[in-house]
Amino acid sequence: MQKKGTPSHPSAAGLAQAGHRASSIIRKTLITMALGMFGAAGALAVVQPADGNLPIIQQARQILPLPESFHASLAAEPSAESSPFIQTTQIRRGDTLADVLQRLNVSESGLLPFLTHDKSARSVYKLYPGRSFHAGLDSEGSLAWLRYNHTPSAIEDGQTVSKWLEIKPDGKGGFSASEEFAAADTEIRVSEGTIVNSLFGATDAAGIPDSITMQMTDILGSKVDFLRDIRQGDTFRIVYETYSHQGQSVGSGRILGIEFTNGSRTHEAIWFKPENGSGGYYDFKGNSLRAAFLRAPLKFTRVSSTFGTRKHPVHGYTAQHKGIDYAAPSGTPIHSTSDGTVEFIGWQRGYGNVVIIKHHGKYSTVYAHQSRFAKSLKKGDSVEQGQLIGYVGATGWATGPHLHYEIRVDGKQLNPQSVDLPIASTLEGGDRLAFNKVSNQYQGHFQLLASARAIPGETAQVASR
């Protein structure tokens, strides 16, 4: 392994100049890496097409000096047992400090009172779910240091920095705490999984952080109804950023690419920033995924993912039942699937408390059986895609709490799951050309992953839970 500051890989610019030979060498290296440490990490951003001055190169430049921390991060990976003296845990919803310390196997007397009372440690008062703690323990199991990575990444003076609270024994039986920060290393990670029971089951098994899983469901929210459409055997590949400091992962960033196969359909999303616009996600054909309609009016969360269609009898779209039912506990928030204006809000026979939203063109959507409406929402109000409009209930003709959702075109109900919803926008001109290069690159990455898996005897780590 190389020392810091002497990267073992050529720079992105150098790579581009060196042309095909260099990139094919890198490509081979990559395959080896993909085989050896699949699912844990990857350095895919190192692969650059020979002809490209692509936006992604910016990304690569950021990453290239870090191959050694890429290896270090493997050692510090929470799931890896190779660092017996560094313990890592992520904050879970409802955690107390005592819970966190217990999971870290930290049992220093006086530490908990210090953390809860000392002003220098005040950033530990706020435990953000998903953020991480690291504890360094010596060979006797005594605490050497404790870190709370409360701010995995922040931009300061145009640089990405990571901020954390560092606690150390003061050598006199007490502790001292200080706020620290350092430039964060950005890394690109590649993971894939197969859904057996649930999306979270698969992403957990693949070591994918919750924030990345949630991004995935947001990004593909116009293509896949994650509450109803997920099937056993669905597969995904994700390329995403993570931030690390001194080889320790301190948080995750943005998804750069996804390929998601849902039943017989494969959806893909690539992060791209048009020249004069803000960045967003596009499919391989350059169509924006920020579509006019979301597939589902309920948000996918760790909790909602367990509602399941098996627990409650919920109807699909039939000749008699012209809508889609979502089983969900009473009080689950309901979100408008598209921009529009409130055409009706109130009681209708059968529907109970119902909101009808009129959208652009001939579309309207219906949200029935609500327990209550969003505060102060009224007829004529304009609503945005994703805006809260009410809460799941069992009003009207409903045997249990669920949301009955309809899409109407010219007032006629259509099957929300099969209706072809309008596309928001497509990249054109120079943006399209630039995008095509990025898109080809990612398609290559995904194919590389697929071929790595296909080599007999080398089993890629595939989530199977």
Q: Which residues lie near Zn ion (CB under 5 A)?
A: 323, 325, 404
Distance CA 89, CA 70 (A): 20
Closer by beta carbon to Zn ion, 323 or else 390: 323
* Least gap, CB of 323 to Zn ion (angstroms): 5
CA pseudo-torsion sign 34, 37, 40, 46: negative
Q: Residue 105: CA atoms inside 13 Å, Cβ hemisphere, count?
A: 12
Closer by beta carbon to Zn ion, 39 or else 352: 352
* Least gap, CB of 315 to Zn ion (angstroms): 5
Across-strand partners of 148? 133, 165
Closer by beta carbon to Zn ion, 213 or else 370: 370
H-helix or E-strand spanning residue 325: strand 324-327
Helix, strand, coil percentages, rounded to 5, for the chain: 25, 30, 45
Closer by beta carbon to Zn ion, 207 or else 390: 390
Place of tokens 């009080």: 331
Closer by beta carbon to Zn ion, 323 or else 352: 323
Distance CA 11, CA 17 (A): 10
Across-strand partners of 149? 132
Distance CA 327, CA 462 (A): 30
Closer by beta carbon to Zn ion, 67 or else 323: 323
Angle at CA of residue 78, ends 457 and 137, nearest 5°? 130
H-helix or E-strand spanning residue 15: helix 12-36
Distance CA 247, CA 69 (A): 5
* Least gap, CB of 74 to Zn ion (angstroms): 49
Q: What phi and psi, each to the nearest 5 degrees, are found at residue 60?
A: -65, -40
Closer by beta carbon to Zn ion, 254 or else 321: 321
List Cβ neighbours of 128 (8 Å cut-off, separation of 6 or more).
91, 150
Per-residue CA distances from 220 to 225, 259, 260, 265, 420 (Å)? 9, 10, 9, 13, 15
Kindly give the interhelix angle for 55-63 and 12-36, rounded to the nearest 10 degrees.
70
Could you tell me if 430 and 274 are in contact, meaning their C-beta atoms sit under 8 angstroms apart?
A: no
* Least gap, CB of 221 to Zn ion (angstroms): 21
Report the residue number whose CB is nearest to Zn ion.
404
List Cβ neighbours of 162 (8 Å cut-off, separation of 6 or more).
149, 151, 152, 153, 154, 181, 182, 183, 184, 243, 244, 245, 250, 251
